[in-house]
């Protein structure tokens, strides 16, 4: 049986959540919407359409959605050449890969953005596959992206651990039946992650790597050798 190490990217492996907050805030401001950065931060991790519904309500003019998303993407794209990796994210992925885990990224990023994120993380040699919200009907917090990631890893839910930094990640993991692990480096409080279903919470990838032998990664069934 294969074991799957599933990872969100923004805020989990790359220090990009607050860049997204600023870009969404500016895109919304340009369109005449007054939305606090705090509210935007709490919505990061949702796919664009769901994020806008969360912030502006289902009664909004949905005809604006594409323009708002394009404005965000254009602003965020100006950072693609300098997205910062979170400390030890690459080491964590490589360590899990060496231990026989199939590492799969679970993200709502589009192809160009994902390319920039992967360059920032710089651990392609340890990444087996990527599951995007573009590949499924619903993004996180629905379990669909994680189900897709499990298919790519050819692993069962009880042999998988999903690491993320938002309540949407934790909820998706619980709904998919995998073990959810939260990281605080995305800016969401520990209690919120635990209330959303995190089995364990760590400061950042470096902290998880340091405690890996005492983490949920030690509890999953042994996998097959690759």
pTM, full prediction: 0.95
In this prediction, residue 42 carries a pLDDT of 97
Q: Helix or strand or coil: residue 166?
A: coil
In this prediction, residue 131 carries a pLDDT of 92
In this prediction, residue 94 carries a pLDDT of 98
The C-alpha atoms of residue 152 and residue 86 are separated, in whole angstroms, by: 25
In this prediction, residue 226 carries a pLDDT of 37
In this prediction, residue 225 carries a pLDDT of 42
Name the phi and psi angles at 143, rounded to 5. Answer: -80, -5
The C-alpha atoms of residue 140 and residue 117 are separated, in whole angstroms, by: 18
> Which residues contact residue 12 at a Cβ distance below 8 angstroms, ignoring those fewer than 6 apart?
86, 89, 163, 164, 165, 169, 183, 185, 186, 205
Domains, the chain: 3-15+84-218 (3.40.50.1000), 17-78 (1.10.150)
Beta strand ranges found along the chain (DSSP E): 3-7, 101-107, 127-132, 160-164, 179-183, 200-202
Please identify every stretch of the chain with a pLDDT value under 70, giving residue numbers as ranges.
Answer: 220-226
152-211 confidence digits (pLDDT tens) = 999 999 999 999 999 999 999 999 999 999 999 999 999 999 999 999 999 999 999 999
In this prediction, residue 224 carries a pLDDT of 47
> Which residues contact residue 170 at a Cβ distance below 8 angstroms, ignoring those fewer than 6 apart?
164, 180, 182, 193, 196, 197, 198
State the alpha helices, DSSP H only, in 57-143: 65-77, 89-98, 111-121
State both tokens at 219.
């509890």
């Amino acid at each position: 049986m294969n074991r799957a190490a599933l990872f969100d990217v923004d805020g989990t492996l790359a220090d990009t959540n607050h860049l997204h907050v600023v870009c969404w805030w500016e895109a919304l401001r340009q369109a005449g919407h007054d939305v606090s950065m705090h509210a935007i931060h709490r919505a990061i991790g949702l796919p664009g359409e769901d994020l806008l519904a969360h912030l502006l309500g289902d009664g909004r003019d949905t005809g604006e959605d594409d323009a708002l998303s394009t404005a965000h993407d254009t602003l965020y794209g100006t950072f693609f050449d300098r997205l910062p990796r979170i400390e030890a994210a690459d080491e964590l992925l490589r360590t899990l890969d060496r231990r026989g885990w199939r590492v799969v990224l679970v993200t709502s990023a589009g192809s160009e953005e994902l390319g920039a994120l992967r360059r920032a993380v710089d651990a392609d040699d340890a990444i087996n596959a990527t599951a995007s919200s573009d590949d499924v009907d619903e993004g996180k917090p629905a379990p669909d992206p994680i189900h897709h990631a499990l298919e790519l890893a050819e692993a069962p839910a009880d042999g998988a651990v999903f690491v993320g930094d938002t309540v949407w990640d934790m909820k998706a993991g619980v709904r998919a039946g995998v073990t959810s692990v939260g990281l605080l480096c995305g800016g969401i409080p520990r209690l919120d992650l635990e209330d959303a279903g995190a089995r364990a919470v760590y400061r950042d990838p470096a902290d998880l790597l340091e405690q890996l032998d005492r983490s949920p990664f030690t509890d999953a069934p042994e996998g097959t050798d690759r």
